[in-house]
Amino acid sequence: MRLMGKNVVVTGGAGLIGSYLVDCLVERGARVVVADDFSKGRRNNLAGVIDRITIREGDLEQAAAMARALDGAEIVFHLASRAYGIGYSSQNHLALLAHNERITNNLLDALAARPAGHLLVCSSSCVYPDDGPDTVAELPVFCGEPEQANWGYGWAKRLLEQKAALVAQATAMPLTIVRPFNIYGERYRWIDAASQAIPMLVKKVMDGDDPVVVWGSGTQRRNYMHAADCAAAIAAVVEAGFVGTVNIGTEDTVSMLGLIEMICRLAGRRARIVTDPSRPEGRRIKSCDATLLRKVYPGLEACMPLEQGLSRMIDWHAAEFGTVASG
């Protein structure tokens, strides 16, 4: 599918993944509309392309705002949602479900009335159950419960997938579903105790916390991908004309203790690291089977190494907070 010259809408386009996706689409010559309420996304994330895009600001929980956002869209990349760290998600299941459902229903009502030429919806690895395989392929997700620590968010994404599939079938609209695994990057907006793992841990190290407290056992393992790589994969699967469901991530994992040690080493910090088993840690191992993604997107092999991404997150701390802890 040629993206050049297409009218493309990116909901949540000022956010962490969305803003990198906007960069990719502009580079490919698409006419890009960013639909965002800027509650989490930032205009600064779009600074490099601001003169080549259109911004439609509005609350996508409101049906009229969603209809305006999608007006004239030939391709829709739907990324707008509320995603938080495990500390917030594990205590706010109903609120996360309700918020994301309102956005989902508005999106699909608008597309049912006026289908796009192609729809991509951004789901999540949280749709998978805790008792599944350590390395997860594109499994059906209506067996068992989604990830317990992100139960409400996981159900919201399961429902997004199913509702999008129903609308796509009824309207003959091509549909791509992507399930990213643990995305991070320096365009992240700090949201205090609700922040996600990597920005939270980088802040603890750079603020000089001693000890640095890791939730859970610290032995839980995760695959991490930089948001720029995630965005490149999302653009590529649509450009390839892929229809179906695909994971976005790789098989490589790091333990939370190993992650902290890496951040400390890159930052030149020394701190005691302690674990708090009373706090939620999520599933033991969360790794992505990228077999299908590699077939659709050979560029996956050029992804940013974790150390490079964490170095950029250390720079993010200085930019976000203006100060660093003394050596």
Domain boundaries of the chain, sorted by first residue: 7-184+224-248, 192-222+252-283+304-315
- Residue 69: the pLDDT is 98
CB contact set of 45 (below 8 Å; sequence gap of 6+): 14, 15, 16, 19, 187
Residue 284's CB: how many other CB atoms inside 10 A?
12
Looking at 87-91, 131-135, 208-212, 269-273, which range is the least confident one?
87-91
Average pLDDT over residues 18-33: 98
- Residue 325: the pLDDT is 46
pLDDT mean across residues, the chain: 94
Is a pLDDT exceeding 70 seen at residue 193? yes
7-184+224-248: what fold?
A: Rossmann fold (3.40.50)
Give the CB-side neighbour count of residue 49, counting CA atoms within 13 A: 25
Task: Provide the pairing of β-strand 212-215 with 273-276.
Answer: parallel
Is a pLDDT exceeding 90 seen at residue 194? no
Average pLDDT over residues 166-187: 98
Average pLDDT over residues 286-306: 95
Taking alpha carbons only, the member of 103, 106, 290, 24 closest to residue 180 is 290
Q: What does the pLDDT look like over 246-284, one tens digit per residue?
A: 999 999 999 999 999 999 999 999 999 999 999 888 888
CATH architecture of 192-222+252-283+304-315: Alpha-Beta Complex (3.90)
- List, as one string, the DSSP characters of 195-241: --HHHHHHHHHHTT-SSEEEEBTS--EE--EEHHHHHHHHHHHHHTT
- Residue 90: the pLDDT is 85
1 residue type, one letter: M
Average pLDDT over residues 99-116: 97
Q: What are phi and psi of 31, to 5 degrees?
A: -90, 105
CB contact set of 265 (below 8 Å; sequence gap of 6+): none
Average pLDDT over residues 109-135: 96
* Cα–Cα dist 135/1, whole Å: 30
Is a pLDDT exceeding 80 seen at residue 326? no
Taking alpha carbons only, the member of 311, 313, 99, 79 closest to residue 188 is 313
Joined together, the tokens standing for residue 161 give 């997938």
- Residue 323: the pLDDT is 60
Is a pLDDT exceeding 80 seen at residue 84? no
Average pLDDT over residues 109-117: 98
Is a pLDDT exceeding 50 seen at residue 327? no
Q: What percent of the chain has pLDDT over 90?
A: 87
* Cα–Cα dist 81/97, whole Å: 10
160 residue type, one letter: L
